[in-house]
Structure 1
Amino acid sequence: MEFKWLDDFMSLRELGNFSAAAQARYVTQSAFSRRIQALEVWVGVTLFDRTSYPIVLTEHGKKFVPYVESLLEMVKVTKDDFSQASLKTDKSVRIVCLHSFAVNLLPRLFNQAGPLFEGLNFAVNPSVQGIDNHFQALLDNSNDILFTYNTKGMRPSFLIENKLDRCLVCKESIIPVISPQLLKLHPNDQNYPYLAYSEHTFLFNAVVPLIKRIKLPLEQIFETTLSESLIKMAVNGSGIAWVPMHTIEYELEQGLLVQAFPEQPETVISLDVVCYRSKNPTRSAINQFWQGLAQIVAQPD
């Protein structure tokens, strides 16, 4: 069970209409309907009488209300307590981003910032799972900044996009790489071993359609959620991996990795890295970060 389903329940109870409740919850009507159905499956009973207009609670639904109110109040108190605890000072900036961004991209931005970020205290959470939850956290002021890729599945819904500011941080290339030793020794008539992302990762959804479309000679032998793991496997000569350019600059410079399929430029995936915040930031630290980031990304390479 997800706690957002409880808010969905209360919204539909109040508004009596799926369309209006979905809009109030910043989701599409089909997604909202699925969440209500999922809650009913979890509880084990039908909570709403859909034959009436406006929609009303069933008897089971009426009995469920005080439980939901109690749970939501407990969640709110807990969230408020720990949200404030995460703000070590008024100068704190809470950032959510992909793991590879936390390891490579953000340190580079902080280094470029110089005095622009002076006095700020950063808390970085390298986990973008359930992107809708992260966008909602920006609106709820549970988080301040979100770094992600600007691509399908990683954008805010049209219902909330006008409540968020977006900044283009940089262009990113996801390239196939291989160790020079494997490239030299691998038989031309055999498939290359392929080092893959796990199914529920963002880059899985970016790379797999390309591989299927181009029909590359690959045979998967390994999968993981982390680019860093794929890079080490590729350096060791275990196979070909698609990884963000910002994660392998050292390996390319040192000749530990080279681009695979250089004669096929269509094997390179180009993506925009973007940053989001709420249009109504609650603290000056967020404005300082946002203005500093805008100056950094405006600088010529």
Structure 2
Amino acid sequence: MEFKWLDDFMSLMELGNFSAAAKARHVTQSAFSRRIQALELWVGVPLFDRTSYPITLTEQGKKFVPYVENLLEMVKVTKEDFSRESLKTDNTVRIVCLHSFAVNLMPRLFRQAGTLLEGLNLALNPSVQGIDNHFQALLDNSNDILFAYNTKGMRPSFLLEDKVERCLVFKEKIIPVISPELLENHPKDSRYPYLAYSEHTFLFNVVAPLTERVGLPLEPVFETTLSESLIKMAVSGMGIAWAPLHAIEEELEQGLLVQAFAERPELAISLDIVCYRSKGANRPAVEQFWQGINEVVAQSGRE
């Protein structure tokens, strides 16, 4: 159970309408509906009568209200007691990003920033599971910074767009790669083994439409959620994979991987990597980080 579900419950109880409650909670209606359903599944009983308009509580839902009110008040008081003073002087910047960003991109970015981030404690959480949740965490002051691809499925909903600000950090390419040995020894007129992203990952939604549209001779043999795993499999000669350039610079430089279908540049996918923060983020540490990243971007543009 997630505490935000309790706020969702109270919002729907007060407004009696999924659309209005979702807007008040800064999420899409479909995401909000899923969260209410998840809460009902956790509790084990239906909490709302959806046959009435406006939507009303069931008898079980009415009994649930005082428990929710007590829990939310306890959480609020606890959080305020422990964070009110510390956040004013805390030099920690809480950052959420993809695992591949944490392994390959963030170290390079922090190194480029150098003294611009001096004195900051950078707390990196390599996880983007449920992008709506991470944008909500920015607004709730549970996280400070979010790095994500600027692509469908990873952008803030239209309800949140005016509540966050963003900075374009890098322009990224995702390219098909293969080991030189497999490229040289693969029989002509046969399908290439294909190392794919799992269906529930956002990169699947980026790469799969391309491979389906162009009709490449690929035979799926492996899938995973992690770019790093696909890259290691490709280096081992197990197949072709689409990988972000920031994650394979060393492999390309050392000749462990080469671009597959190099004669077809349209198979490279271009994406922007952006950095987000809440417009209400005014802690000195967050402001220093934001200004530092913007300066790194400006310096890169000048170079």
Same fold (TM > 0.5): yes
The alignment status of 1:93 with 2:87, answered yes or no, reads: no
Match of 1:291 in 2: 291
Mind listing any 5+ residue stretches in structure 1 that lack a counterpart?
none
Deviation at 1:292, TM superposition (A): 0.9
After superposition, the Cα gap between the structure-2 partners of 1:88 and 1:201, relative to the gap in structure 1 and judged at 3 Å, is farther
Deviation at 1:240, TM superposition (A): 0.7
Deviation at 1:33, TM superposition (A): 3.6
> Which amino acid in 2 is paired with 1:284?
P
> Which amino acid in 2 is paired with 1:127?
S
Match of 2:20 in 1: 20
- DSSP-derived class of the 1:20 partner: helix
- DSSP-derived class of the 2:22 partner: helix
How many residues end up aligned between the 2 structures? Answer: 301
Q: Which runs of structure 2 are paired with 1:100-249 in the superposition (5 Å)? A: 100-249=100-249
Give the conservation status (yes or no) of the 8 Å contact 1:138–1:144.
yes
> Which amino acid in 2 is paired with 1:26?
H
- DSSP-derived class of the 1:65 partner: helix
Deviation at 1:242, TM superposition (A): 0.5
Match of 1:259 in 2: 259
Distance 2:187 2:86 in 1: 54
Q: Percent identity?
A: 79
Deviation at 1:116, TM superposition (A): 0.9
Match of 1:274 in 2: 274
Larger CA deviation: 42-51 vs 217-226: 42-51
Deviation at 1:9, TM superposition (A): 1.2
> Which amino acid in 2 is paired with 1:196?
A
Distance 1:271 1:81 in 2: 42
Larger CA deviation: 43-52 vs 15-24: 43-52
After superposition, the Cα gap between the structure-2 partners of 1:89 and 1:184, relative to the gap in structure 1 and judged at 3 Å, is farther
Larger CA deviation: 14-23 vs 49-58: 49-58
After superposition, the Cα gap between the structure-2 partners of 1:47 and 1:228, relative to the gap in structure 1 and judged at 3 Å, is closer
Distance 2:273 2:74 in 1: 37
Give the conservation status (yes or no) of the 8 Å contact 1:89–1:121.
no
What do residues 31-69 of structure 1 show as CA deviations (whole Å, max 9, x unaligned)? 434433443454444433445554332322211112222
What do residues 116-173 of structure 1 show as CA deviations (whole Å, max 9, x unaligned)? 1111110101111111111111111111100000000001111111010100001000
> Which amino acid in 2 is paired with 1:63?
K
Distance 1:189 1:73 in 2: 66
What do residues 68-125 of structure 1 show as CA deviations (whole Å, max 9, x unaligned)? 2233345445666787899796211111000111111111111111211111110101
> Which amino acid in 1 is paired with 2:260?
A
Mind listing any 5+ residue stretches in structure 2 that lack a counterpart?
none
Larger CA deviation: 15-24 vs 201-210: 15-24
Larger CA deviation: 286-295 vs 17-26: 17-26
- DSSP-derived class of the 2:151 partner: coil
Distance 1:244 1:210 in 2: 15
What do residues 205-250 of structure 1 show as CA deviations (whole Å, max 9, x unaligned)? 2111111111111111112222122112111211111100011111
After superposition, the Cα gap between the structure-2 partners of 1:26 and 1:231, relative to the gap in structure 1 and judged at 3 Å, is same
- DSSP-derived class of the 2:242 partner: strand
Larger CA deviation: 60-69 vs 135-144: 60-69
Give the conservation status (yes or no) of the 8 Å contact 1:83–1:142.
no
Distance 1:52 1:251 in 2: 60
Distance 1:46 1:180 in 2: 58
Distance 2:157 2:129 in 1: 16
After superposition, the Cα gap between the structure-2 partners of 1:44 and 1:170, relative to the gap in structure 1 and judged at 3 Å, is same
TM-score (norm 2): 0.91
Distance 1:284 1:51 in 2: 49
- DSSP-derived class of the 2:127 partner: coil
Q: Which runs of structure 2 are paired with 1:12-51 in the superposition (5 Å)? A: 12-50=12-50
TM-score (norm 1): 0.91
Distance 1:52 1:218 in 2: 51
